[in-house]
Amino acid sequence: MKLFVLYFDIGSNFGEEASLGNLLSFWTGSDVIPPGGLNNLEVRYLGESCLLPQANACFGILKIPTVQSTKEQFFKSMNTGILYGNGHFGQL
């Protein structure tokens, strides 16, 4: 969870990497804050066989991978999933 909080806090500062707007769009299907606010968004953890994040935009659920052993691996996985999965309902 610490890596996700770090990613969420500084994710928009990595140049061509995924921005917080990309994350919100991946997570909710929209690039604006949902009517219920951010408090209604949920984070879940994926099993060890999943390498990329997934989202259930209809329910505001972001599922993050837990298999990466370094910050760099986690950020790369999150950025890849968010950038290439956007517009695909959180699935690649």
Radius of gyration (C-alpha) of the chain in whole angstroms: 12
The confidence band for 47, taking pLDDT boundaries of 50, 70 and 90, is: confident
Q: What is the pLDDT of residues 51-79, one digit of tens each?
A: 899 999 889 999 988 887 787 888 888 88
What domains sit in the chain, N to C, each tagged with a CATH number?
2-85 (3.30.2410.10)
The confidence band for 2, taking pLDDT boundaries of 50, 70 and 90, is: low
Q: d(Cα 81, Cα 39) in Å, to the nearest integer?
A: 23
pLDDT of residue 15: 47
pTM, rounded to two decimals = 0.76
85: left (phi over 0), alpha (psi -120 to 50) or beta: alpha
